[in-house]
């Protein structure tokens, strides 16, 4: 078994070695992707339970009923996290586990799981970082309208307070939402994630109510905090590069960046939706459902902006058939390949897009520290007889992307930490178990966990940067 740490190139190694000893290192997971125990201890149904049970939605007909069985293997998994030498573990709380049905009192048994998880992490010397919402909306709230309905924002704030009141004595860092773009656009427009609806106007309503839910929860958490907390939100973003210098392509890149990033960044960090995007929406007869006072709630200062990065895009205003307008008369915004190597998700590997994104965030939205809350890659791993995976490709991806973060810091980006996605292979949403993002291999038959080469490289890299 090859357990030696091999840095990918001298340049990357040098950049990474230049990260400060105080840089924070972590691994990330989310509840539905790892916990399993879907019907235990009073857990309710979420939109993902329903989506997985809808034929044709998830590859292989897979679901998260068992997943990595983390609910039953939590102490061993915390020992695994500790063995990687990370400072911090980012996990999400399952809303239907702690508040089945999305209203009312906490479910003590479900809450008890997170209480024990936090204690176990602290005993292991690993800081807990809680994400309150990583996509598992209680089904009852979807039945009442889901994120396009304003009331869901208030339900989220109530739920957030149940968790906050219980864990705030031991948890310092809180992320309200993970990737609202995915919840809104994949969930309510493209239908590629739960709840699988396909209506653009609904998706825009969802954007606003997700942001409002963030703001309402953040205000209540701040007011209730009995000690200093770090509060933020996590956005997934890419650099949208125009495919050519043509006006059509530049406009397409502007639209992609607007709907992918600025429609979240601007209300959160500047207190207003981007004017160009509001104009684009109004040309489609759509208005954001803003009520007086909402933007002040949404733009209350945050302590940290979480950035999830996987790939970047070249954007064109012309489709494959040479058209600049789609069937509904909307301008075309299409992605054209860079021609780079891809991961098993078919996502192109573009580390310099990561550097550009981080430098730009720090320039255009100064004053908010950044933490990379997810970055990683799926590859078609081959485990040997002992379960070990020599994942040179994933190791190379991590090395290139951590170096890209270090390069961004050298250019002035205020990035304070990095979480690898993911601790272990898990349920990759509509791709089921076929796509493996873990630093640790999971044998789903036996639930045996085996650190891959990338895990050992990550552990050794962290040690080197810390200087011991
Ligand atoms: C992100 C999600 C995470 C995981 C990775 C691959 O969009 O936040 O749960 O699925 O992608």
Query: Quick one: average pLDDT of 242-266?
Result: 98
pLDDT at site 3: 38
Query: Quick one: average pLDDT of 415-419?
Result: 98
For residue 7, pLDDT over 60 is answered with no
Of 120, 251, 374, 428, which is the active-site residue?
374
| Other CB atoms within 10 A of residue 197 CB | 18
pLDDT 10s digits, 117-128: 999 999 999 999
| Residue 30 CA, closest ligand 1 atom number | 9
pLDDT at site 10: 84
Verify whether residue 12 is a known catalytic residue. Answer: no
Query: Quick one: average pLDDT of 430-457?
Result: 98
Q: Rounded to the nearest whole angstrom, what is the distance from the C-alpha of residue 376 to the centroid of ligand 1? A: 9
Query: Which is nearest to 462 in space by CA: 407, 397, 398, 379?
Result: 398
pLDDT at site 362: 98
For residue 278, pLDDT over 70 is answered with yes
Q: Rounded to the nearest whole angstrom, what is the distance from the C-alpha of residue 275 to the centroid of ligand 1? A: 29
Average pLDDT, the chain: 97
The answer to whether residues 117 and 127 touch, using CB atoms and an 8 Å cutoff, is no
Q: Which helix (H) or strand (E) element contains residue 87?
A: none
CA distance 299 to 41: 37
Residue minimizing CA distance to atom 4 of ligand 1: 428
Q: Rounded to the nearest whole angstrom, what is the distance from the C-alpha of residue 201 to the centroid of ligand 1? A: 24
For residue 389, pLDDT over 90 is answered with yes
| Residue 378 CA, closest ligand 1 atom number | 6
Strands (E), 220-267: 230-236, 240-242
pLDDT 10s digits, 310-340: 999 999 999 999 999 999 999 999 999 999 9
- Which protein residues touch ligand 1 with a CB less than 6 Å away? 30, 33, 178-179, 182, 236, 308, 374, 421, 428-429, 437
Verify whether residue 140 is a known catalytic residue. Answer: no
pLDDT at site 211: 99
Q: Which two tokens stand for residue 292?
A: 């007086």
DSSP 32-48: HHH---TTSTT---BHH
Q: Rounded to the nearest whole angstrom, what is the distance from the C-alpha of residue 192 to the centroid of ligand 1? A: 13
pLDDT 10s digits, 40-90: 999 999 999 999 999 999 999 999 999 999 999 999 999 999 999 999 999
Label residue 9 by pLDDT band (50, 70, 90). confident
Q: What is the DSSP letter of 342?
A: B
């Amino acid at each position: 078994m090859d357990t030696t740490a091999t840095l990918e190139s001298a340049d990357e190694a040098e950049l990474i070695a230049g990260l400060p000893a105080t840089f924070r290192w972590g691994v990330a997971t989310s509840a539905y992707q790892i916990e399993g125990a879907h019907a235990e201890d009073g857990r309710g149904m979420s939109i993902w339970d329903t989506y997985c049970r809808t034929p044709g939605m998830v590859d292989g007909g897979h679901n998260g009923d068992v997943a990595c069985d983390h609910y039953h293997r939590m102490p061993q998994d915390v020992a695994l996290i500790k063995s990687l030498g990370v400072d911090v573990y980012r996990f999400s709380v399952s809303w239907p586990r702690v508040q089945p049905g999305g209203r009312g009192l906490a479910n003590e048994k479900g809450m008890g799981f997170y209480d024990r998880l936090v204690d176990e992490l602290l005993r292991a010397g690993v800081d807990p970082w809680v994400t309150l919402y990583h996509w598992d909306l209680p089904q009852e709230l979807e039945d009442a309208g889901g994120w396009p309905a304003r009331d869901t924002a208030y339900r989220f704030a109530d739920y957030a307070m149940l968790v906050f009141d219980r864990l705030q004595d031991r948890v310092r860092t809180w992320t309200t939402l993970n990737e609202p773009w995915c919840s809104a656009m994949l969930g309510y427009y493209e239908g590629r994630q739960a709840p699988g609806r396909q209506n653009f106007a609904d998706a825009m309503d969802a954007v606003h109510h997700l942001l409002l839910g963030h703001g309402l929860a953040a205000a209540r958490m701040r007011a209730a905090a009995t000690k200093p907390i770090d509060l933020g939100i996590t956005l997934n973003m890419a650099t949208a590069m125009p495919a050519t210098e043509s006006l059509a392509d530049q406009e397409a890149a502007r639209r992609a960046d607007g709907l992918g990033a600025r429609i979240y960044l601007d209300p959160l960090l500047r207190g207003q939706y981007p004017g160009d995007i509001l104009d684009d929406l109004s040309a489609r007869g759509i208005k954001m459902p803003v009520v007086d006072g909402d933007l002040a709630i949404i733009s209350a200062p945050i302590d940290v902006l979480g950035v999830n990065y996987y790939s970047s895009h070249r954007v064109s205003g012309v489709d494959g058939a040479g058209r600049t307008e789609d069937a509904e008369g909307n301008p075309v915004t299409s992605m054209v390949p860079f021609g780079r190597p891809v991961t098993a998700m078919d996502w192109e590997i573009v580390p310099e897009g990561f550097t550009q994104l981080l430098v730009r965030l720090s320039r255009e939205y100064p004053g908010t520290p950044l933490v990379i809350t997810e970055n990683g890659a799926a590859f078609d791993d081959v485990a040997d007889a002992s379960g070990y995976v020599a994942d040179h490709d994933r190791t190379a991806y991590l090395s290139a992307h951590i170096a890209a973060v270090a390069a961004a810091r050298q250019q002035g980006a205020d990035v304070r930490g990095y979480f690898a996605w993911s601790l272990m292979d898990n349920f990759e949403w509509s791709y089921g178990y076929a796509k493996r993002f873990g630093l640790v291999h999971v044998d789903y038959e036996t639930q045996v966990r085996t650190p891959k080469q990338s895990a050992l490289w990550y552990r050794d890299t962290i040690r080197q940067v810390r200087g011991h």
